Structure 1
């Protein structure tokens, strides 16, 4: 993807002030730290702008990413992610078989071979009771594991697919992607887990973000990034129906 920082900032800015910049990142662009790609931080730096990522979203994920432009704002914002007080909501389109209207995925993560994130237990040890997925402590693998929980609401169903609004209580790397795949509902187009179709993008979107921001009045940063038309294609190509689905997510998610 041929990128120009001034075009990226003009096309994708959701919010900007003297302390932060929030972008509605397209799928396919890295935030930072990708060895073989030009990422947003590198792109901005080449244009004379220093960015300090407050958090990261995967290259394949679209949507909100918050970057500090004032180093003094970076620490207080990052700590809210570390302390799990940041309020995050994602949208995802998944394979739907028997998803409940609301659910809780309480499955710890670990890191396996080649630095791949996985559930910290054998797949067959995953249990479901009602609307909750979990593993017993006795079934955890003998390696370091990280408690990880995601709550979700099923917003809409269209044939074999469903639109979910997801709230990651924790914020582990690849958390939503791994947990959904291991309970049998992979995100459509996910190159790690969806083997059923070669879709042009992964249908995971960082939708809403809420943080305390003491330099603002009131001292709250509430951000929202609308998904682009390409996000909705497994469900609809009708812009009006996509808008109705987004409104349903706001009401129920």
Structure 2
């Protein structure tokens, strides 16, 4: 017990990015769950053992780093969770892929379902995914590999035009429960081997960004859902979170977790510096 209390104290001191009388925002390290972990190794359990009761307004995956928002009192928790449920919270993630071909701006509008072994997948065959631009009609599919992580989609039109990855309604699986899911993307940087994108999950489903990117041919590097025995961390980071502070007159608040050095570890020094610099001054496009 003493070790977990010490671990919580360290995490709270070193990873706190914002705190007031109502909420605590932490930059969650990779490998730590928000709640529900066996053996009480999650943040909520560690805090409780240290004498602090916290109420998470949302969750991010254990393999993901970045912003997690907690209510410090139960009376604030309901309002925060309602904001997430009503999709009035703006969430921006950073994802690093070892691929090329992601357009400057894109939307992935692909329904999710749960397949064998409780794995989240697209509720359609990968061969039925089509790419569309504002300047052109339907073009090439995202490929025929239903594993969803092997090839990038072919370019459907002018590079500057926004892309849409989608699937015709008639091709969506009729025999399973499906969950409409939308992710907006903005390419921030592209190097010789990697691409850095900002991702805004409108619907916020489980594993949404990870599955969406993989099924259009751009899996996140180090993602164990789509990479066997990865040797690196999963390069997905919850970067920014914007919400309304009902306890402070409804003021819109933005909290940001700057990616740590481990997020840039798969890039060489020059690429890491340029990729990190691309975050400066980023303003989400209108589609966000």
Aligned: 1:25 with 2:28 = yes
> What TM-score, normalized by structure 1, do the two folds share?
0.93
> In structure 2, how many angstroms separate the alpha carbons of the residues matched to 1:110 and 1:44?
34
Q: Match of 1:50, SS? A: coil
> In structure 2, how many angstroms separate the alpha carbons of the residues matched to 1:123 and 1:29?
32
Aligned twin of 1:233: 265
Which segments of structure 1 move beyond 6 Å, counting only runs of 4 or more?
none
Partners of 1:111 and 1:118 within 8 A in 2 = yes
Shift of 1:2: 9.9
> What TM-score, normalized by structure 2, do the two folds share?
0.82
Q: Match of 1:247, SS? A: coil
Greater Rg, structure 1 or structure 2?
2
Shift of 1:79: 0.7
Aligned twin of 1:80: 83
Shift of 1:200: 2.3
Shift of 1:58: 0.2
Encode CA deviations 1:181-234: one digit per residue, 9 max, x unaligned. Answer: 011100001011134x83320000000000011212561221000000010122
Aligned twin of 2:157: none
Residues 52 and 64 of structure 1, relative CA distance in 2, 3 Å threshold: same
Residue among 39, 45, 48 paired with 2:48: 45
Aligned twin of 1:246: 279
Superposed CA RMSD: 2.1
Structure 2 stretches lacking a partner, 5+ long: 134-162
Residue among 172, 177, 190 paired with 2:210: 177
Aligned: 1:187 with 2:190 = no
> In structure 1, how many angstroms separate the alpha carbons of the residues matched to 2:279 and 2:115?
36
Partners of 2:79 and 2:246 within 8 A in 1 = no
Residues 77 and 218 of structure 1, relative CA distance in 2, 3 Å threshold: closer
